[in-house]
Amino acid sequence: MEEIREVYLDNSATTKVAKEAVDAMVQAMTLAFGNPSSLHRKGMEAERIVSKSRETLAAFLGAKSREIYFTSGGTESNNLAIKGAAYARKRYGRHLITTAIEHPSVLDVFKSLEEEGFSVTYLGVDDSGHINLEELERALKPDTILVSIMYVNNEVGSIQPIEAAAEIIAKNKNTLFHVDAVQAFGKIPLIPHLKGIHLMSLSAHKIYGPKGVGALYVRDGIKIMPLFNGGGQEEGLRSGTENVPGIAGFSAASELAFKNMAAWQARMRELKERLKDRILEEIPDAVLNGSENGAPHILNISFLGTRAEVLLHALESHGIYVSTGSACSSYKKGKSHVLAAMGKTAEEIDSALRFSFSPFLSLEDIDYTVEILKKEVTELRKFIRR
């Protein structure tokens, strides 16, 4: 009987919560369970957790603690940053810039703003998923009030030239720069002190923290409009009782990620290279999507002559978990907008799988995955290529 392992290769969708994060959350739920806005001791205990967590995240970003605002996750952070900036700065103009390969929680916000009368320029990407800085410079206008560019693409792992983009954007004094760093934070080194970045979105559950909590960095002096009103928490920018257990877990996960970043990055790169090299050498008609030098935790490959969704479930039957792209896009019909923007063919898009790594996988997990892939791809091609 075939040995079935559990190999979780969907870490860009979410990660397993680390024990350190769970412990911090349990303490917040069972001991420091007060409302952080309450004036009594239980409230102050909870408030201290929130304040300490804010300081922890700020330290890892090279920011000030007052520049960190807690949210319900990356989607809220992106919405708050983009809509909040657009509404607050529309007196300076109504032109916005983003890229064609952003996460849906960015792209859909820009489409919504277009319906409200804003104009949006969508930057294209090359066949490896990178923007052209000259195109960005040409797109900037005197009435451009916001540019939003993701740090690491969630489907193919391309790392955008954020530092160079920030230097270009800085020439426009009324233009804010927002960066979706959900797939970058804790995985790769960021620009020191976030130079040139005004707004940055983060999420806990991509770095072994809990779901339902994130953060938005807002540079000192930058004013954005809140999306809803209430009790005035988070300096009035994000009303609502703070998710203290989630924030505690986010902080603990961040400490773990930054403490181990160099070692984890090297380990994930090793796993990624092993899987990539073996697939491309041993499985015919496998096509790499994205750059050879992308983020260490994301690998996207098309297996021509297969259907990605069918292959995904075939792998699942052997205990291997992968994805066909963004988990947040799985509820929507249609092809990968990222691969389409990169100029991939319909067959390459239909047969693309995303493998995303954690440092807790073994080389044996990778070799098991390759052997199962070889078997299942061969079988599926017999039916599809008839």
Closest CA to 276 of 157, 151, 375: 157
Residue 274 scores a pLDDT above 60: yes
Q: Which has more pLDDT, 330 or 179?
A: 179
Answer yes or no: are the C-beta atoms of 222 and 175 closer than 8 Å: no
Determine which of 34-48, 251-265, 292-306 has the lowest per-residue pLDDT on average: 34-48
Residue 70: CB partners within 8 Å, gap ≥ 6?
50, 53, 54, 213, 214, 215, 234, 238, 242, 243, 247, 250
Measured CA to CA, the distance from residue 62 to residue 13 in angstroms comes to 26
Mean pLDDT over 297-317 rounds to 96
Per-residue confidence band for 293, with pLDDT thresholds at 50, 70 and 90: confident
Active site residue 378: no
Instruction: Give per-residue pLDDT as tens, 193-207.
Output: 999 999 999 999 999
Determine which of 162-176, 233-247, 303-317 has the lowest per-residue pLDDT on average: 233-247
C-beta atoms surrounding 381 within 10 Å: 16
Instruction: Give per-residue pLDDT as tens, 91-101.
Output: 999 999 999 99
Closest CA to 352 of 329, 382, 319, 368: 329
DSSP per residue over 173-202, as a string? TT-EEEEE-TTTTTTSPPPGGGTT-SEEEE
- Mean pLDDT rounded to a whole number for the chain: 93
Instruction: Give per-residue pLDDT as tens, 348-367.
Output: 999 999 999 999 999 999 99
- The per-residue pLDDT for 239 is 61
Per-residue confidence band for 329, with pLDDT thresholds at 50, 70 and 90: very low
In terms of Cβ atoms closer than 10 Å to its own Cβ (0-12, 13-18, 19+), residue 277 is exposed
Selected catalytic residue, list 44, 139, 222, 328 = 328
In the chain, the N- to C-terminal Cα span, in Å, equals: 30
Under CATH, which number does the domain 19-259 receive? 3.40.640.10
E strand spans, the chain: 7-8, 68-71, 95-99, 119-123, 144-150, 176-180, 199-203, 214-218, 286-289, 298-303, 320-321, 352-356
The one-letter amino acid code at 351 reads S
Give, as one character, the DSSP assignment of residue 7. E
Class of domain 7-16+260-384: alpha beta
Task: Please state the pTM of the whole predicted model.
Answer: 0.94
Task: Kindly list the domain boundaries of the chain, sorted by start residue.
Answer: 7-16+260-384, 19-259
